[in-house]
Amino acid sequence: MLNELNDAQIEAVTHIDGPLLILAGAGSGKTKTITTRLAYLLGEVGIDPLNTLTLTFTNKASAEMRERAIKLIGNNITKFPLLCTFHKFGLLFLKFHIERLGRANSFVIIDSDDKKRLIKAISKDLKIDLAPSFIASEISKYKNNLLEPDDVVEKAELPEYKQAAQIYVEYQKNIKENNLVDFDDLITLTYKILQENRDLRIETSKRYQYIMVDEYQDTNELQFQLLQLLCSEHNNLCVVGDDDQSIYGWRGANIRNILEFHQNFEDTKIIKLETNYRSTNQILEAANSLIEHNRNRLGKKLVSFKGDGKEIELLHSIDEAHEAKNIAGQIKKLLKDGVDPDEIAVLYRINALSRSLEEGFTKEGLRFKLIGGTRFYDRAEIKDIISYFRVIANPTDDFSLLRIINKPRRGLGKTSIQKLQNLAKKQNNSLYMTILENSVDTLQKAISKKAALTLKDLIKTIDELQDETQSSWDNFITIFEQKVGLKNYYYKNQDGSDRVMNIDEFYGYLRDSSKKNPHLTLDEFLNEISLQSEQDQVEDNAVNIMSIHASKGLEFEHLFIIGLEEEFFPLLGDGCNMEEERRLGYVAFTRAKSHLTLCYTDSRFYKGYRKQGLEKSRFLGEAGLIKNATFKITKSSSFKKGDLVKHKIFGIGRVQAVTKSGKEYKLLINFGGNKKEILSSFVQAV
């Protein structure tokens, strides 16, 4: 299994005990290395598969790695290693151990959309007018910092954060009463149980004696702390990642986890994978040159296995309409020459820039797909089916019941639903139990008799469907449609045929899942689809349009990147992290295999106004693609390669390299041919 690996990969694969950081550059065979290492541990060293744990960030990645590893080992494997996402691991762990927190293991996962709906309902009750997305983000931060509602209430000072704290209190109360968990809980509660139960922590750590983590640069603080607990008894932690591809700081990823790994885990071995099998020399030289301007990095230089290729092209357009037309023209020529549309992509830094591409490509008759549009599981008709299934699985799930209480329409108005909620609150009961336990006569004192009878019929339908879950899934789907009739309901609406096709696709997926797992339960199915990630939805056979973030992990023969202008890429202004912007540039460049075209315009329509006289992006200069480029200074107390600095003895010099040295940075400075290594606190910017 080592025959197809290079020397650095072999060294990484055959390292067995102790902490290991595999610093894997873009296109350097990261997946091949980590899967071969797993296969090596199982097939050559003889480690029990049940004693390994490999964690990823997407279901797609875990499925691919599992398939590759098993293929390397052969078909004689009888026990399978646990290879899953962080959240799937949390789900499995909580199913066995959540009772240690006084919770039942029949919990249901709610997704981000459900979370926002619940927040919206609580905000309405509390008469608080804050954006649900803001509150959802705040609650996520609280949980990932292990802050209980009481802690947040106590520490909140500004008015909006005091209100967020109030909503957090009610939110937590609601999900506990309904036995729900959100995505953050899957890791937060797992960490809490391990932290509070020493015996279980030791047992779990001893069980998973060899732990591997993919895309380690994307881990957040809580995931890092969880990993510390999981490997507390052995320190056999192997992480694979690239600090230069850390682009998710905005959603909590902590780049320090990878930068300081060797400090957090004693005797860490660091192996750099620097041979790139994807891109040509020209592309890698530009990417290397760009990323070297960052200060906070461990440092590596990609070398092309493929060798030289086409020069990088700069495409200059008058405006975004002209840009879209130019790109469409080039793509049409590529398609005419027989290039597979799946090998062509257009990337952008700002989502708003996709509008001109979509409009321009449509005018030119160029077929495309927008990656990152409405996800399958976020479509209204699919959310409705899932909500029905959740109520069938857990009748006390109030907010799922509220979503489907009038779908298909049952003549229940907002007033009737509100009165029902008031009655449930008064009786301290769930909506389902309130309808079930009260007679029609009692209910009609709060709502009309017609509404009461309608609700009783709904409860009867749910009860009957609960019984059908014990039969075959084919039969369940048939009975479900007969009793609920969502396909008929949506067919009468706008885009009816498309919605019906989506419903049929969902049913097909359920049938397929039940064939793969004959013992599949409704709970398991709901939990699995809740864990689906955005990249798991990527389709084939079309020209791709997507954000740089969505392109992570993908590669294309022909790549166009638009918006290479100051303010668009890099983004400027408050909250802008120039180092992360460069990492985005590095990620974008290294998606290209052989042809890279960087596009910039003189003006661009954005946020309702036309911006005139745009400056070319500094990244074109930093990547060595524009001669005599003026390097713009980014406000910071630190330094970067290319900065001019002044020393009180040696005078003016230019920074050539930056390395971490304790709490400071060590600068390699060229003082007119006299090169010196000086601590950053002893020089000042010019």
**CA pair distance 662, 640, nearest whole angstrom:** 17
Q: What is the pLDDT of residues 197-218, one digit of tens each?
A: 999 999 999 999 999 999 999 9
Peptide bond into 149 cis (omega under 30): no
Instruction: DSSP for 408-471, please give it.
Output: S--S--HHHHHHHHHHHHHTT--HHHHHHHS-HHHHTTTS-HHHHHHHHHHHHHHHHHHHHTTS
Say which range, 88-92, 160-164, 238-242, 571-575, has the weakest mean pLDDT: 571-575
**CA pair distance 87, 641, nearest whole angstrom:** 39
- Neighbour-count burial of 183, counting CB atoms closer than 10 A to its CB (0-12 exposed, 13-18 middle, 19+ buried): buried
* CA nearest neighbour of 641 among 579, 571, 575, 598: 579
User: Which of 135-149, 173-187, 397-411, 524-538 ranks highest by mean pLDDT?
Assistant: 173-187
What is residue 662's predicted lDDT score, i.e. its pLDDT? Answer: 65
What is residue 510's predicted lDDT score, i.e. its pLDDT? Answer: 86
Proportion of the chain above pLDDT 90, given as a percent: 50
**CA pair distance 319, 315, nearest whole angstrom:** 12
Q: Region 474-479: what's the mean pLDDT?
A: 90
What is residue 684's predicted lDDT score, i.e. its pLDDT? Answer: 62
Residue 468 pLDDT greater than 80, yes or no: yes
Q: Region 573-577: what's the mean pLDDT?
A: 64
Q: Region 655-673: what's the mean pLDDT?
A: 76
Residue 270 pLDDT greater than 90, yes or no: yes
Residue 8 pLDDT greater than 50, yes or no: yes
Q: What is the pLDDT of residues 290-314, one digit of tens each?
A: 999 998 899 999 999 999 999 999 9
What is residue 540's predicted lDDT score, i.e. its pLDDT? Answer: 56
Report the SS3 class of residue 77: coil
> pLDDT-based confidence at 532, cuts 50/70/90?
low
Q: What is the dihedral of CA 637, 641, 644, 647, to 10 degrees?
A: 70
Q: What is the pLDDT of residues 57-74, one digit of tens each?
A: 888 888 888 888 888 887
> pLDDT-based confidence at 281, cuts 50/70/90?
very high
Residue 376 pLDDT greater than 80, yes or no: no
Residue 387 pLDDT greater than 80, yes or no: yes
What is residue 493's predicted lDDT score, i.e. its pLDDT? Answer: 60
> pLDDT-based confidence at 538, cuts 50/70/90?
very low
Q: Report CA-CA distances (Å) from 49 to 97, 233, 517.
A: 22, 18, 21
> pLDDT-based confidence at 287, cuts 50/70/90?
very high
- Tokens representing 366 are 């160029």
Q: Kindly report the average pLDDT of the chain as a whole number.
A: 87
Residues noted as catalytic = 30-31, 214-215, 245, 591
Residue 602 pLDDT greater than 90, yes or no: yes
> pLDDT-based confidence at 575, cuts 50/70/90?
low
Neighbours of 252 (CB within 10 A): 18
pTM: 0.74
Residue 573 pLDDT greater than 70, yes or no: no
Instruction: DSSP for 272-298, please give it.
Output: EE-EESSS-HHHHHHHHHHHTT-SS--
Residue 591 pLDDT greater than 90, yes or no: yes
What is residue 642's predicted lDDT score, i.e. its pLDDT? Answer: 64
Residue 608 pLDDT greater than 60, yes or no: no
Residue 683 pLDDT greater than 80, yes or no: no
**CA pair distance 127, 677, nearest whole angstrom:** 60
Q: Region 385-395: what's the mean pLDDT?
A: 93
Say which range, 511-515, 523-527, 554-558, has the weakest mean pLDDT: 511-515
57, 85 in Cβ contact below 8 A?
Answer: yes
> pLDDT-based confidence at 158, cuts 50/70/90?
confident
What is residue 643's predicted lDDT score, i.e. its pLDDT? Answer: 63
Say which range, 545-554, 628-637, 673-682, has the weakest mean pLDDT: 628-637
